[in-house]
Amino acid sequence: MFKSLAPPEYLATIDREKCIRCKRCIQNCGWGVYSWGGDKIVINTSKCVKCLRCYHYCPEEAIEIVDNPTKFKNNAYWGFHNIRNIKRQAETGGIPLTGMGSDLPYTILFDNLLIDACQVTNPSIDPLREPMELRTYLGKKPSSVELEKGKDGKPRLKDRMPPQIKIEVPIIFSPMSFGSISLNAQKVLAHAARECGILMNTGEGGLHEDLLPYKDNIIVQVASGRFGVNPEYLNAGVAVEIKIGQGAKPGIGGHLPGEKIPLEVARTRMIPVGTDALSPAPQHDIYSIEDLRQLIYAIKEATNYKPVSVKIAAVHNVAAIASGIVRAGADIVYLDGFRGGTGAAPSIIRDHLGIPIEYAIAAVDDRLRQEGIRNEASIIAAGGIRSSADAAKALALGADSVAIATAALITMGCTTCGKCYTGNCSWGITTQRPELTARLDPEIYADRLVNLIHAWTHELKEILGALGINAVESLRGNRERLRGVGLDTQTLDILGVKPAGR
């Protein structure tokens, strides 16, 4: 067989002195790196993706995964990924796929923004002593409210409030479909969402019946493939989301590879086993804002007016598009930034299309305010939220809530190896192979995810306390409490943020 001219990225190595030949690495590796050679473990390092499953499960700490020192000569211009992709393309003629968000060294605006704090003149608040309000309501807010006296003599709202979704913390889980991730991974999300009073999102693969008990914490998604969408599905969750685009692959559809379509997934999606699940690039009934409006209201009619969210990728013209979405009747605009993760995307798309979420939040929030329609919809910001600090900055830039996916998967063991599209995830997350998915015990891992949300909740409260604010409401769109470090004037202008020192 022709040996690939793209050298392996990693070298899986076993310390033969420490190894007791228990073969656990063979069992644990989803990629088939290890096999039994009769008297010792044989290593095929070209298959190694550095997901570190074997490392964690080797009882003797005999395994080490090192970056291949024989990669290519260091070159500041021709990066490893450039050369490797060319070699792979020369060998296959295909489009290199990738998983997770872009890992290229573009400027990370979150890391150039710092949050204010109180000193002397304005007292900070101790969140351990004082109540801190993080509860958030997603949905259309009326531009004014009128009160009238109810029968019991107490004041009440004159008009009916548009439907609101209550979340206890402004952090929810991004859509990840059954198919792209395992049912057990979805269960982890559902479990944790219920426990934390937040939301998970089915993604576009339909709703497996095992998730029905969690329906009060679920958003169901309608995307171009319309997988699993029927009236029952639309009515199952607290809201319906129309997926137009995804930050990792704006403007293109999705091809869930046939390897990830076993019977259960095929059944839930209503397609043949082993075909690629094709999500066309556009929704073929939406070619304009008017068409979008038509689908939004078709869904509202079918659900007795549940809130509808519209998810788009952050692209150059995001502000105008978001304005159109709000005017089309959406209750929530979900913005997914350039760094957003994916189960499978062509790396050329993931790494070169779209804009970072920080710009998108600021631009959309500005635009909706200028047009006087910011109250008409909530903004959810996603695409690379790595910590509660990123979340706080996103909120201060103007988001109502953030959504996280990669961070949630990391609590399940993910090491961001980026090979989700192969369907071999050794952690049982982005795979449908039963021997691998069985490893992900939903209850155990849900606890870890709940821990993460609780930890970020505490951190958010600490940040609010330091800001002297006792409700997240006062942080939202409060860009005065952000400062830019090392950002040029124009970027600061777009973000609506002053430079540090001013």
Partner 1 sequence: MFEIDAAGIYYRDLNARIREALAKGEKEVTVRNVNGQYYIGDGLSGNATIVLEGVPGNDLAAFMDGPTIRIKSNAQDNIGNTMNAGKVIIEGNAGDVLGYGMRGGKLHILGDVGYRIGIHMKGNKKQSPTIIVGGTAGDFFGEYLAGGLLILLGLKPDGPIVGDYLGTGMHGGTIFVRGEVDKKNCGAEVGILDPDEDDMKVLKNALTEYCADLGLDIKEVMSKKFKKLVPVSSRPYGNLYAY
List of residues contacting ligand SF4 (CB under 6 A): 14, 19-25, 41, 51, 58-60, 62-63, 99-100, 409, 414-420, 425, 427, 429-430
Q: Would you count residue 224 as binding partner 1 (CB under 8 A)?
A: yes
Considering only residues 272-301, where is the footprint of partner 1 by CB under 8 A? 272, 274-276, 278, 280, 284-285, 294-295, 297-299, 301
* 326: nearest Cα among 277, 370, 382, 263: 370
Interacting partner of 99 out of partner 1, ligand SF4, none (Cβ under 5 to 8 A depending on kind) = ligand SF4
Q: Pick from 96, 251, 262, 499 the residue near partner 1 by CB under 8 A.
A: 96
What is the rounded CA–CA span in Å between residue 102 and residue 418? 9
Query: CA angle 124-129-132, nearest 5°?
Result: 70
Residue found under tokens 């969140």: 127
Q: Are 478 and 396 a contacting pair, CB within 8 Å?
A: yes
Q: Give the residue with the Cβ less far from partner 1, 331 or 400.
A: 331
Interacting partner of 88 out of partner 1, ligand SF4, none (Cβ under 5 to 8 A depending on kind) = partner 1
Q: Would you count residue 302 as binding partner 1 (CB under 8 A)?
A: yes
Question: Which DSSP symbol is given to 71?
Answer: S
Q: Pick from 37, 105, 231, 372 the residue near partner 1 by CB under 8 A.
A: 231
Q: Give the residue with the Cβ less far from partner 1, 215 or 448.
A: 215
Q: Would you count residue 88 as binding partner 1 (CB under 8 A)?
A: yes
Report, in Å, the least distance between residue 212 CB and partner 1.
17
Report, in Å, the least distance between residue 339 CB and ligand SF4.
14
Q: Would you count residue 464 as binding partner 1 (CB under 8 A)?
A: no
Tokens of 397: 């830039």
Residue found under tokens 């403007």: 251
Residue found under tokens 């949300």: 453
Q: Give the residue with the Cβ less far from ligand SF4, 202 or 309.
A: 202
Q: Would you count residue 234 as binding partner 1 (CB under 8 A)?
A: yes
388-397 and 442-467 are packed helices; what angle lies between their axes, rounded to 10 degrees? 50
* 217: nearest Cα among 197, 235, 202: 197
Interacting partner of 51 out of ligand SF4, partner 1, none (Cβ under 5 to 8 A depending on kind) = ligand SF4
Report, in Å, the least distance between residue 230 CB and partner 1.
4
Q: Each residue of 416-442: b (16+ CB within 10 Å) or e?
A: bbbbbbbbbbbbbbbbbbeebbebbeb
Interacting partner of 100 out of partner 1, ligand SF4, none (Cβ under 5 to 8 A depending on kind) = ligand SF4
CB atoms within 10 A of CB 274: 13
What is the rounded CA–CA span in Å between residue 199 and residue 137? 12
Q: Give the residue with the Cβ less far from ligand SF4, 295 or 407.
A: 407
